[in-house]
Amino acid sequence: MDSDRWPLQTVRLPPALEALAFWTAIVLPTIYVPLLFLGLYSLQRQLLFVLLLVLNALTILLGQGHRRARTR
């Protein structure tokens, strides 16, 4: 394992899952940014917001290799 890489960067997902993670990472902000503008007044909205942020971070990490392998 390279010392300058995150542990998740060494995991190779099937291309379809990698593509799904990549595009999910792109689409998720369209859900949580409007949620911010509507307000995080209730505990449910706050938990949903945190869950969406964590999910977005995870999909960014898992989907970052999408199409990268083809260009090398």
pLDDT in tens, 49-68: 999 999 999 999 999 888 76
What is the predicted pLDDT for the residue at 40?
A: 95
Does a structural domain hold residue 63?
A: yes
What is the predicted pLDDT for the residue at 49?
A: 95
Structural domain that includes position 42:
14-71
Number of domains in the chain: 1
Answer yes or no: are the C-beta atoms of 33 and 64 closer than 8 Å.
no
Does a structural domain hold residue 65?
A: yes
Rounded (5°) CA angle 58-12-10: 75
